Amino acid sequence: MRSRVIRFSALSSMSIALAASAAAQGPANQPPPPTTVSSSAGNIRIERVATLEFPWGMAVLPDGRVLITEKPGRLRIWASGQLSAPVQGVPSVLYRGDSDQGGLLDVEADPNFATNQLIYISYVEVDPAGAKIPETGELRFSTYTDMTDSIVRGGAVARGRLDGNQLRDVQVIWRQFPKTAGRGHFGHRLAFSRDGKLFITSGDRMRFDPAADLKTNLGKVLRINTDGSTPADNPFAGRDTARADIWSYGHRNMLAAAVEPNGRLWVLEMGPLGGDELNLVQRGGNYGWPFVSNGDNYGGPSIPDHPTRRDVVAPVRTWTPVISPSGAMFYSGTAFPAWRGSALVGGLSSQSLIRLQLDGDRVGTEERLFMGRRIRDVAQTSDGTLLVIVDAKSGDLLRLTPAR
């Protein structure tokens, strides 16, 4: 069934020749966003309620407080219309400035937060051994890699107990392996399954080959228990030839992940030169990167499309020109009843909030709301209204409510 696409705002044409780093960062100064946008749910009011420095992830707590990360390493709490001082006790992160894809990334609350007060954060850390890895270059990225950056780093996930404005009893429960020098594509969206397992998206670190290598957890969706141990029913658990934390592999740069109410996990990943993907994640599935893609390498050669490999899982939907997906959720509120059950996805280069109404394992309807800003993440509040964060040096926290 072919998807139906609805657009309520005129979109400027965009070149698909976007650098990998440009897909994750944007200029600091952008024009004010529109104050209203039309949609299938009626006119929507857009209100700026706070400003942060490169916000990246959000999590809504059961009592209505909202956790928000800032890439330079700050975790904030937004409550009663006010933004808190930085939460104390957050681990040190590696962040090298506006163009860096690292720093403090996603945040998620434990499914039993009301009783245990645990939260989970993903971030980028320096290799404690201080190792140096020579940079050999990567022709497939053309000029879009910084060959002067030799800092060896990798992603990590830690959990801690939120006590007021303090994070206590912090422990690292997962790390990317191996750590490598420079570059981006950390991934690191966090999402809980219905049975309480933690999914982690781990990017390929712009290294290509690790995504298909089962001895690494780069370019993979990972599944772990909340204490960092490995579930016994993971597809490669107990094998010497693969890492036990792997749930699926052959991924590129997944910056959006959401669990559907029926339990299915969906991820969106950035393609290279074109070919952004929506994938329905299957246990043990191989999604083909870097051997197939509906996009092409920046510096050549071209990449075979998905239909050339019947042994890999094809994406449900691809986009060229790209949307640069970042952040996703399934809407279940009452403020926008026409959207119940739809996936809402942030768009960076597309500067849009994208609604995907699924029809089984296909996209039935696609709607794009042009926001005029790079949307990094989206969250649903307790009253069903929406919060979105803007990827910018002065990145707005925006509240979306029905226009009356």
Name the catalytic one among 185, 188, 251, 306: 185
3-state secondary structure the chain: CCCEEEECCCCCCCCCCCCCCCCCCCCCCCCCCCCEECCCCCCEEEEEEEEECCEEEEEECCCCCEEEEECCCEEEEEECCEECCCCECCCCCCCCCCCCCCCEEEEEECCCHHHHCEEEEEEEEECCCCCECCCCCCHHHCCCCCCCCCEEEEEEEEEEEEECCEEEEEEEEEECCCCEECCCCCEEEEEECCCCCEEEEECCCCCCHHHHCCCCCCCEEEEECCCCCCCCCCCCCCCCCCCCCEEEECCCEEEEEEECCCCCEEEEEECCECCEEEEECCCCCECCCCCCCCCECCCCCCCCCHHHCCCCCCCCEEECCCCCEEEEEECCCCCCHHHCCCEEEEECCCCEEEEEEEECCEEEEEEEEECCCCEEEEEECCCCCEEEEECCCCEEEEEEEECC
Q: Is 185 a catalytic residue?
A: yes
Q: Which residues contact 148 (CB under 8 A, 6 or more apart)?
A: none
Active site residues: 185
